[in-house]
Amino acid sequence: MTSLGSDGRSDTPAHRIDTSKPHPARMYDYFLGGKDNYEVDQEAAEEFMKAAPEVREGVLANRRFMRRAVEYLVTEGGIRQILDIGTGLPTEPNVHQIARALAPETRVVYVDNDPIVSTHSMALLNEPDTSVVLADLRDPRGILDHPDVRRLIDLDEPVALLLVAVVHFVSDAEDPGGILAILRDALPDGSYLVLSHATGDVHEDRREGAAAVYRKATASMNLRPHARVTEFFGDFALVEPGLVRVTDWRPEEPVAAGAPLIGIYGGVARKDG
């Protein structure tokens, strides 16, 4: 984890923040209208928007899905501890804010592999029972064994694991199924998995152009079909309405007529013994 100096500032060495290539977290921040990104991220994001003009609507829809899922976890699932892997740069409302508005005792650990995320998330450490860990989804055991994760997350009690718009940055060669299996197996009964994932099912004609942008980034984007994304939930039971486009997961109001189709699937599933 990034350490803090005596003045509360991050001790993350500046050279560890790679600004030579676009980073998905910083591109996502740009899509959301944030300012924690670099020119290389902005250029890649603009190129991506040419291939997928609906991307801004997509990331906003993904954020709204995350909020509804967290509200469900806390109110209906009774969850009081959340492990959010691939959190990205802080964007309000953050997971801990959503959860604690409903259950103030909820504990939250954020994980991301970009040092700039940790650097810009240090303010979260002023929140009780919240931590920000610099680690990579591709090393699930390293995350599960991290002292800050162990300090706040009790793996003997139900946990909500959030993998929101991150697994599509893990290539098939890096074995996303195996990674997910390790994480799922570590969770006790009564735990939940929240996952959203980009797909080419919706805009098949744009798949290659969109994916090409991320080949220049620190992680490629791997668009996967519905059946493959479903496999990531393993034997967890999907709650209604199952794995659907994020706009269709328990929406607060009907999708507006003429709204762009969003190529992101989202689902919430429970581990039952």
pLDDT of 14 strictly over 50? no
Looking at residue 19, its pLDDT comes to 74
Question: What 3-state class would DSSP assign to 61?
Answer: helix
Quote the pLDDT of residue 161.
98
**Nearest-10 crossing angle of helices 39-51, 24-31:** 70
Q: Look up residue 256 and give its DSSP letter.
A: P
CA 23 to chain centre: 14
pLDDT over threshold 70, residue 182: yes
Share of the chain above pLDDT 70, in %: 85
Radius of gyration of the chain (CA): 18
Statement: residue 10 has pLDDT above 50: no
Which runs of E-coded beta strand occur in 177-253? 192-198, 237-238, 244-245
**Residue 11 predicted with pLDDT over 70:** no
Looking at every residue in the chain, the average pLDDT score rounds to: 85
Report the alpha-carbon distance of residue 77 to residue 270 in Å, rounded: 9
Give the predicted TM-score (pTM) of the model: 0.84
Q: How far apart are CA 194 and CA 157, in angstroms?
A: 17
Contacts of 66 (CB under 8 A, 6+ apart): 95, 162, 164, 194, 196
Distance CA 23, CA 35 (A): 14
Q: Tens digit of pLDDT for each residue in 151-176?
A: 999 999 999 999 999 999 999 999 99
Q: Please give the C-alpha separations between residue 62 and each of 48, 56, 66, in angstroms, as whole numbers.
A: 17, 10, 6
Least Cα distance to 248 among 71, 88, 56, 64 occurs for 64
The DSSP secondary-structure symbol of 30 reads: H
165 Cβ partners below 8 Å, 6+ apart?
28, 59, 62, 86, 88, 196, 197, 198, 264
Specify the pLDDT at position 47.
83
Residue pLDDT, tens place only, 80-120: 999 999 987 777 799 999 999 999 999 999 999 887 777 76
On the question of pLDDT at 204 being above 80, the answer is: no
Q: Rounded distance, CA 54 to CA 192, Å?
A: 29
